Amino acid sequence: MTTGLHPGEAPQDPRPTGNHALPTQERAGREAGHADNRTRSSVITARAAASFEPVGRSVATARSFVRDTLQGWGFADIVDDAVVLTSELVTNAVVHAGTSADVLCLRSDDGVRIEVADHYPEREIPLQAAAVNMGSPDREGGRGLQLCAALAGRWGVEYTPTQKQVWFQLDLPDRAVGTRAAGPSLPAHLLPLADGRVRVAVVQIDRTGAINAWNEDAEELFGYAADQVTGKQLTDLAAWPHTPGTSTGIVEALQLSRWEGSYGIRCADGRVTPVYASHLRVRDTSGEPSTVCLLVRDHERAVLQTPLRLAAADSGTTAEGQTTDPFEVFIGSPAPDDLDGLLQRTVERARDMLDGDSAFLLLATDDETELEVRASTGLPSARQRFARVPVEAGPGRYGSARMPAVHEDLTVVPGAVPLLGGTGMRSVVTVPLKVEGRLTGSLGVAAESPGRYSNEEALRLQFAADRIALAVESARLGELERLRRGSLSFLVEASDLLAGTLDRDQTLALMAQMTVPTLATWCAVYTIADQASEPYLSYVLHEDEERIDGLKALLSKISPPDPVPTPGARVWSAPAAAAHEAALRTSMRSLGLGETDTANSGIGTTLATASAVGGETVVLPLVARNRVIGMLTLGKPSDEHFRQEILELAEDLSRRAALALDNARLYSERTAISQSLQRSLLPPELPAIENVEVEVIYRAAGEGNEVGGDFYDLFPIRDGAYGFAIGDVCGTGPEAAAVTGLARHALRLLAREGYGGPAVLERLNSAILDEGARSRFLTLLYGELWPQEDGSALLKVVCAGHPLPLRLRQDGTVEPAAEPQPLLGVMEDLELYEETVTLDPGDVLLCVTDGVTERREGTRMLGDDGLADVLTTCTGLTAGAVAARIMRAVERFASDAPSDDMAILAMRVPGLQND
C-alpha cells in the first residue's frame, strides 16, 4: 500500500480530461438515478491517497486507512458510513475484479468525497435508457452501488481506458456555527461532578513514544516534575488495561490518528490514578509526527469524552419514531477479536446508559466458580484487572451472580458486592451474561448515592447484557484460543531451552527470564538443598533492571514462603506488606517522624520497590521426584492481579522447570564426585628432585562427568632414588578408576619394599587379574631415576604396552628410550625386563599417553613420528617449556575438542650448571 497526505492544498483533478470521459461518466450517473453536476465550487482543503494490492487483507487495510483519515480530519460523524461504502467498493476491486484498488479521500468545507478505482475497464458499460438492475442485495458481490444509493449524498461511476472508478460524497450534518456537538440544558444537580478545579494534563509524545512536553496540570495530577519524565517512555508510566499478546496496546494507540479511552498513570507515590485520555496524532512543519495526549481524572471524563452519535437529532428516537437503546451504539466499533476493547466500551456505555458513577464487567472462569474483573471504569485500579470474586458470594438470589440483583444501599448489606468494598459506592445493579443458559460473566453499574436503581434499570441493563453476551463470549473464546496456541508454543520453547543445559545457575536464569515479562513483572526462585535445609533465595529478576537490587534486598529481609508441595499457585502477601511498611517508615523518616537510618538508600528507591511488588504475588512449588526442591515466586506491580490462564501456564512451566533444575542438581553432584575421585587418583604434588627438572600436564576429556583412565605419578623411593609412572587404563568410569587407584598405590608400595621394575609390574599384573570381571588392561611406563654427581641422571625403565618414551639430545636428535613389552592385565605369566638409560646434561625424556599420539583430524593422526618432529624443535628448552610446546602442538593439530585424556611427563637434566 502507498499513501500520500497533503493538507491545505487544492489538488488537480486526477481523472482523465479527454472528451470521452465526461459523457461516459454522466451517462452512468444518470442511469444510476443521480445527476452528477460535478460541481467543484467547494475548496479542497486536504487529500489522502492510497493504493492497495489485489489480496483479501487489503479490504481491512483500506477500512483502517479511511477511518484514520476521517477521524484525523475530525469527521467522526460520517466515519461509519464512509468505512462501509469503502469496504464494499474495495472488495469489488481486489476480490471480484482481481485488480489493485486506488482510494482517494478529498476534504472540503461541506463534506468528504471518496473515490475508489479498479483496473478492469473491460466490464460492461451501462447504456443510456437501459433499465437499471443492481442485483439481489443478498448475493456476495455487487452491493456497492446499492449502498452508495442508500447512504451517499451524491455518487457516480466513471469509465476510462485503464480503469473504472466509483465515487461518493458524504455531507456533514448541519450544526450550529462554532459547535461540534451540543447537549440539552441540565439542572445543576445533574451536571458531571468535578473536585474543584478541573486539571487537564497535556502530554506530548514523540515518534519513539518518549515524553517531550509535560504541563503544570500533569505535575499536579501525577506528582512528577517535567524534568523527571522528559525523555521517558509513556509506557513506563501507563498502567494499560491490556493482556500481553491480545488486543491493542498503548504503543498501537499512540500511532492512531485519534483515540479516546481509559487507562491508568502510575504516580510518583507509587499509586495508579485512573484517567480518561484523548489522543490526537499531529505533525510539525517538517513532517515529524507526534501525539498530543489530553488527560483528566476518570470521573471527570465528561470534559474530554466525545458525545455519542445518535441516529437522529432526537437522541431517544429514530426517524421512524422508534425508541433507540443508547447501549447499541457501541456494537461494531471494536474489532471482533478485540476482547479488551469490547469489554471496556461495554462498561463505559453501560455506565453512561444508567447515568452511573462506575461500572464493571467480570468474566467467568472455565469451572464457573469464580469471576475475574476484566474491565471497569470509575473504580480504583486495584479493582480493574483480573481480581477474582466467587460466583456464589452468599445465600439467596442476591448473593449469586447468576441472577439480576439491585442493591439500594450497600451500607445496609456490607460485603454484598465484594468488588465495591471501600470504593464509596452505595447503590448497584448487576445482571448476568449468559450464553445458552451458561453463565459467562456479570455486568454491573454502581452509583455513589443510595436508591439510584430499581427493577426498571435492571431490565434495561439485562436487555443490553443479553445483546452483547454472545459477542463477548465469541471474543473471549477467540482470545482463549490465541492464548492456548501461544501457551503451547511458549511451553515447547521453554522445554527446549531447559533441556539444553545441565548447569544449575543457567537453569535458574532461564527459569526467571522465561517468566519475566511474559508471565509476570518480577520473579524470584528459591531452592532447597535437602529436606533439612531452609529455602534459599537463589535468583531474582525484574523487568526493570534498576529494581533488581531493591527487590533482592527486600526479599532477603523476609522469611521465605513455606515449601508446601500442594500443586497450583497460592497467594503470598508478605512481599507487598513488607514493601509498604518499608516505604511508610522511609516516608516518616523523611518527615522527621521516625528514627534516621543512614543505611537507607532513599525514599525514591523504597517507594519504587514498594510499587514494584505492591500487586499480587503467587508462589508455585517446584516438585521433582516427589520432593519440593524449591519455589517459583511471581509478582505484579501495585494493584495488579494475575489472570487464571497465566497462572495455569506458570504451573505448567514450574513442573518442567523443576525437573530441569533437579537434573542440573544431580548432574552437578555427579560431576563433583567424578572430579573429586579423579583428583584422588593423581598425586597431590610433585617432589623436587635435585638437578632434574620435572613438568606434568594433564588434560581430562569431556565435561568432567566421567573419571578418566589416564594417570601419572612421581614419588621418592629412598634416599637419592625416585619412581615415576605414566599409564592408561582401558575405558572410563568406576571400573577404570578402580584399576587406576590399584595401580598407583601398588606401584608406590612395591617400589618402597625394594622390588625392581619388572617385579613391581609382574605383581601389579597379578593384582589386576585378581579383579576378575572388573579388571581392565593397562598400558604402563614405569621407571626409577637416580641423579648422578656428574650432573647426569640414570634411569631404569619398563614399557609395558605404553607409547615409548622419547629422548631428546642436545644436538636435536630424538630416539626411543625403551623397547615395547606386553601390556598388563591380559596374560598371567609375563617376562618383563628393564632397560637402562643415561640422560646427559641438556637431555630431555618425554613420556605421554596415547591421547597425545592418537590425536586426529579427519584421516590424519599425529602419531609417534609427528610427536618426534615436534620434540626436535624443543632443544634448549626447559622441561616446562617442552611440555607446553607439545601440548600446544597437539591442540592445534585438530579443530575439534580432544576425545581422550592426555598426560605429558617431561624430565630434563640441566647439569650442575645452568645451560
What is the sign of the dihedral through the CA atoms of 802, 803, 809 and 815? positive
Average pLDDT over residues 812-827: 91
Band (64; pLDDT cuts 50, 70, 90): confident
Query: b/e map of 768-782 (b: 16 or more CB within 10 Å)?
Result: beeeeeebbbbbbbb
Cell triple for residue 425? 459506592
Q: Give exposure, 479-493, as e/b (b: 16+ Cβ within 10 Å).
A: beeebeebbeebbee
What's the rounded mean pLDDT across residues 858-863? 88
Give the pLDDT confidence score for residue 427 in this predicted structure.
92
User: Hey, what long-range contacts does 205-209 have (CB within 8 A, 24 or more apart)?
Assistant: 205/234, 205/254, 205/290, 205/291, 205/292, 205/293, 206/288, 206/290, 207/288, 207/289, 207/290, 208/233, 209/233, 209/234, 209/235, 209/251, 209/254
pLDDT at 384: 53
Residue 130's pLDDT is 43
In the block, which residue shows the cell 448475493? Answer: 139
Lowest-confidence pick of 260-264, 533-537, 751-755: 260-264
pLDDT of residue 381: 56
Rounded distance between C-alpha atoms, residue 679 and residue 287, angstroms = 71
Q: How far apart are CA 333 and CA 260, in angstroms?
A: 13
pLDDT, one tens digit per residue, over 410-426 is: 888 877 787 787 788 88
Is the pTM here over 0.75, yes or no? Answer: no
Three cell numbers written together for 234: 509513556
**Residue showing cell 450464553:** 435
Average pLDDT over residues 846-852: 92
| Backbone φ, ψ for residue 770 (5° rounding) | -65, -20
Over range 850-864, report the average pLDDT.
89
Over range 86-93, report the average pLDDT.
84
pLDDT-based confidence at residue 524 (cuts at 50, 70, 90): very high
- C-alpha 830 chain-centroid distance: 68
Sign, Cα dihedral of 757, 762, 767, 769: positive
Provide the pLDDT confidence category of residue 762 given band limits of 50, 70 and 90.
very high
For residue range 581-635, list pLDDT tens digits in order. 777 777 666 666 655 444 444 445 566 666 667 778 899 999 888 888 899 999 8
Which cell numbers in the block locate residue 392? Answer: 456464589
Report the distance separating Cα 867 and Cα 886, nearest Å: 8
What is the grid cell recorded at 391?
A: 460466583
Q: Are 88 and 62 contacting, i.e. CB atoms less than 8 angstroms apart?
A: no
360 pLDDT above the threshold of 70: yes
State the pLDDT at residue 664. Answer: 86
pLDDT of residue 319: 42
- What value does the mean pLDDT of the chain take? 79
Kindly indicate the confidence band of residue 144, based on its pLDDT and cuts at 50, 70 and 90: low
Burial class (CB in 10 A: 0-12, 13-18, 19+), 696: buried
DSSP 203: E
3-state secondary structure of 732: coil
**Residue 104: per-residue pLDDT:** 93
Residue 889 has pLDDT above 70, yes or no: yes
Among the ranges given (216-220, 370-374, 872-876), the one the predictor scored with the smallest mean pLDDT? 370-374
pLDDT digits (tens, 9 = 90+) for 640-696: 778 777 888 888 888 888 888 888 888 888 777 777 777 777 787 888 898 899 999
How far apart are alpha carbons 872 and 346 in whole angstroms? 88
Q: Among candidates 861, 845, 903, 846, which has minimal Cα distance to 728?
A: 903
State yes or no: pLDDT of 725 exceeds 90: yes
d(CA 305, CA 295): 11
Dist. CA 161–CA 912, nearest whole Å? 108
Q: Is the confidence at residue 709, as pLDDT, over 60?
A: yes
Residue 606, pLDDT score? 61
- Yes or no: say if 709 and 716 are a contact pair by the CB < 8 Å rule: no
CA dist 42 → 523, 645, 731 (Å): 62, 56, 95
CA atoms within a 13 Å half-sphere pointing along the CA-CB vector of 532: 0
Position 205 scores a pLDDT of 93
- pLDDT tens-place string over residues 781-816: 999 999 998 889 999 999 999 999 999 999 999 999
Average pLDDT over every residue of 517-540: 87
Quick check: 140 and 146 in contact, CB under 8 A?
A: no
- Does residue 255 register a pLDDT over 90? no
Closest CA to 515 of 534, 551, 479, 539: 539
**Residue 840: what pLDDT?**
92
What secondary structure does DSSP assign to 834-861, as a single string?
Answer: -EEEEE-TT-EEEEE-HHHHT-EETTEE
Q: What is the C-alpha end-to-end distance of the chain, expressed in Å?
A: 82
Half-sphere exposure of 241 (CA within 13 A, CB side): 31
Task: pLDDT band for 80, please (50, 70, 90 cuts).
Answer: confident
Number of other residues whose CB lies within 10 A of the CB of residue 537 = 16
CA atoms of 713 and 721, how far apart (whole Å): 14
**Of 134-148, 263-277, 326-340, where does the model show the most confidence?**
263-277
More confident residue, 308 or 696: 696
* Cis check: omega of the bond before 517, within 30 degrees of 0: yes
Mean pLDDT value across residues 394-414: 75
Q: Which residues contact 704 (CB under 8 A, 6 or more apart)?
A: 671, 674, 675, 678
Residue labelled with grid coordinates 529436606: 531
Reading the block at residue 31, the C-alpha cell is 442511469
Helix or strand or coil: residue 435? Answer: strand
Asked whether the predicted pLDDT for residue 95 surpasses 80, the reply is no
Query: How sure is the predictor about 490, in pLDDT bands with cuts at 50, 70 and 90?
Result: confident
Instruction: Give kind and range of the element (H or E) at residue 399.
Output: none
Question: Per-residue pLDDT tens for 190-206?
Answer: 777 777 788 999 999 99
C-beta neighbour count of 95 within 10 angstroms? 16
How far apart are alpha carbons 724 and 373 in whole angstroms?
A: 78
- pLDDT level of residue 323 (50, 70, 90 thresholds): very low
Q: Is the pLDDT of residue 706 over 70?
A: no
Question: In this predicted structure, what is the pLDDT of residue 336?
Answer: 54
- For the record, the C-alpha cell of 264 comes out as 491508568
* Helix or strand run (H / E) with residue 237: none
**Per-residue pLDDT at 18 exceeds 70:** no
pLDDT at 308 over 60: no
CB atoms < 10 A from the CB of 635, how many? Answer: 27
Mean pLDDT over 754-767 rounds to 91
pLDDT for residue 11 is more than 70 = no
Q: Is the pLDDT of residue 78 over 60?
A: yes
pLDDT of residue 242: 45
Predicted confidence (pLDDT) at residue 217 exceeds the cutoff of 90: yes
Could you give the CA distance from residue 103 to residue 85 in angstroms, rounded to a whole number? 12
Predicted pLDDT at 177: 53
Indicate the pairing of strand 289-297 with strand 522-527: unpaired
C-alpha to C-alpha distances, 17 to 30, 117, 157, 158, 558, nearest whole angstrom: 20, 16, 15, 12, 82
Q: What pLDDT shows up at residue 607?
A: 64
The DSSP code for 607 is H
